[in-house]
Chain A
């Protein structure tokens, strides 16, 4: 096949359904060798005619080397992972603890190895076809076959494989064993090379607790110092939170249950309609029947207090972040950390600075539930169309008027979503906060865990779920003002 315009014209003018000569030529340019095989395979792939048992034989035999040679590193890494996993299992079966499930490991390893090869060979052509498509778009994508890539692949396999397989044959030494060995070495005793190698490479990273302990101690000292130095500050926060909480407890706990139940059903009916009102009634009936009423109300006041504080803090912070991308660039990673840290971790600073009880419980809840409030406020305000803001400015709006008359009203849906999320997160955290004596329904769950009371635990769990659903439905209903 020569690259002449006549060829190209032939392909175009016949316009038949078989792939044109051009495409064939492109595949051969891409594949380097075995152009016919890949030309046919790609056509079959396009026609969905590839049989279910089709495997690429070279890939089956060569494993990761096929991927390396063809520059398909996806195939290379998957094949390498499966090969090495199989080999590790085989090595473990042969050398480590042979009496103990050795045969099983050996057979299992062989199975993983063979299945891995079959699997990667089965999908090698699909991967290769995808690579071909990327290559058609961008000629910088790997194409053809290359010996230097095989060398890279070999180097990677040699760097990783033996160490992993060796690790599978050994039992990792513990840190204590290694310390004993190092002490012996210090005394001048003879220690085998194998043991030394194992201690440096296979076990724990050979640093130990030398760094962890002093740093943790330093943090302890710092927290102690903070607690003493800023005692008025922390007390002020506690008083503030307690003030909010007392008000809400007066409403939820202080109201006689018939009044409260009536009010809740009424609110549900007015904001979210008849069905939610019926559901609320039934849920409240459950809470009352199983003796969770007081604790539910106490939980609701905790959640209410936490949510109120979240809104009071989160909305202004969100507005601030939306107005200043710089501040947001600083706040955003903080929010990320707040959302990723396990919720239990928040109990630590809460205890450290505020002791145990309801205010620190609420504080931990606020930290946990604040991020969605901030994020959704930012989202709501940044989503306000530029053109609407421009129009407001064109009619002489001050920055304050822009915020109150344009941005906040348009962001309100997003902010309401934020409140909803905050309520849900508060509820889940308030349960965890029972660990630091924040009372409420979480207390019953905690008691059930500690005393293996499965029944009580499940009933209390259901009560929490019902509280969440009541609040969620009411808030969701309030978001859509036209369905009452």
Chain B
């Protein structure tokens, strides 16, 4: 999906803290000084820690998922990006611009032109038609109604709602309403999309469908996306990288494969325990080097009979190869054999145990 790591990050969050309560500053100082826990802060200062020392960066066109259970601070964190919530401490840069120093008018301009946001409960305006909802951000910027409706109709077509422009949100199904929500976020052609559990309120089939459509759309539009979810499956489907949050702290950031194969702690490993690894784990993770294989008594290897795969083949494809042959699979990179995947290693790899 393009230049994920190249160039300057579009969104950069540097050690953001959010503490709710009237004595937030005192509490933060005490936390830094004495290493207080969340419960201590609540007891001593009556303050709730929403986000604790969160840092991450999102590259151009990347879909970055923030995954956590309810109350983990993920929704709070994403609202810092467009400053719907002010951080207690820390910095946020969008395209290298510090969001915290913007004045009201600059902030409104940023929200209207650079950021689109989609909400879990849609939050559409019930008294406006779909077209007027979609054109809302443009209307706020003073775009005249002719241009607005052209732009809105284009975006409505992108989310497959052509013909529904003159309907009211209440006439649409939940899935369609969220398409309107997405269209509203896309209408002003923002660089950044913030999606706060956009598909959580939908039933599984519709959710799946919208996920696929969003991925397809994203491949074309290439928006830098921050995607909040409480569903690890969804995070893995959508995200090029995933941050896992717990109690306001980002526990781990990594690609889906990293998270599944190298969970940072017990919390994450509990989470990924039930996840299918077939499409997440690749040959280079389960293979053993050729020398090690030979040293362990695998000398009678007839390389001509073995099926061959490259290191980026996922376990699902390796299973297909393995089923057709009695021999281990050779992993070749640019024609050089770099490793061997035996049936045992493959099965263990699917299981997630070494």
Contact = CB atoms under 8 A, between A and B. Distances in A.
Interface of A: 385, 387-388, 390-398, 401, 405-406, 409-410, 412
Given A396-B110, A398-B108, 9 more contacts: A392-B136, A394-B84, A394-B111, A394-B194, A395-B111, A395-B112, A396-B109, A396-B112, A412-B127
A405 B136 CA distance: 10
B84 A390 contact: yes
Nearest to B185: A395
Contact of A388 (B117, B123, B141): B123
Contact of A410 (B82, B121, B126, B141): B126
B82 A394 contact: yes
Interface residues of B, number: 27
A387 B109 CA distance: 20
A394 B121 CA distance: 14
Most buried by B among A385, A391, A395, A396: A395
Nearest to B107: A396
29 contacts: A387-B121, A387-B123, A388-B123, A388-B125, A390-B84, A390-B119, A391-B119, A391-B123, A391-B124, A392-B140, A393-B84, A393-B111, A394-B115, A394-B117, A394-B194, A395-B111, A395-B112, A395-B116, A395-B136, A395-B140, A396-B107, A396-B108, A396-B109, A396-B137, A401-B140, A405-B139, A409-B125, A410-B125, A412-B127
A400 to B, nearest CB: 11
B246 to A, nearest CB: 25
B123 A390 contact: yes
Contacts of B109: 396
Most buried by B among A390, A394, A398: A394
B184 interface: yes
Contacts of A391: 117, 119, 123-124
B95 to A, nearest CB: 17
Interface string B136-156: 110111000000000000000
Interface in B182-229: 184, 188, 194
Contacts of B121: 387
A390 B139 CA distance: 17
Contacts of B82: 394
A390 B79 CA distance: 10
Nearest to A387: B123
A410 B140 contact: no
Nearest to B116: A395
B200 to A, nearest CB: 13
Contacts of B188: 395
Nearest to B110: A396
A398 B137 CA distance: 11
Contacts of A406: 125
Interface in B278-323: none
Interface string B85-125: 00000000000000000000001111111011101010111
A-B complex: 6 closest residue pairs judged by Cβ atoms: A396-B112, A391-B123, A396-B111, A396-B108, A395-B137, A387-B123
Given A390-B84, A394-B115, A396-B109, A410 B127 contact: yes
Nearest to B126: A410
Nearest to A399: B104
A387 B84 CA distance: 12
A403 B286 CA distance: 59
Nearest to B188: A395
Interface in B159-194: 184, 188, 194
A388 B126 CA distance: 9
Nearest to B138: A395
A409 B137 contact: no
A406 B139 CA distance: 12
Given A395-B137, A401-B140, A387 B112 contact: no
Contacts of A385: 123
Nearest to A385: B123
B117 to A, nearest CB: 4
A396 B123 contact: no
Contacts of B84: 390, 393-394
B178 to A, nearest CB: 13
B24 to A, nearest CB: 21
A395 B125 contact: no
Contacts of A393: 84, 111
Nearest to B139: A405
Given A390-B84, A406-B125, A410-B127, A396 B117 contact: no
B123 A397 contact: no
A129 to B, nearest CB: 41
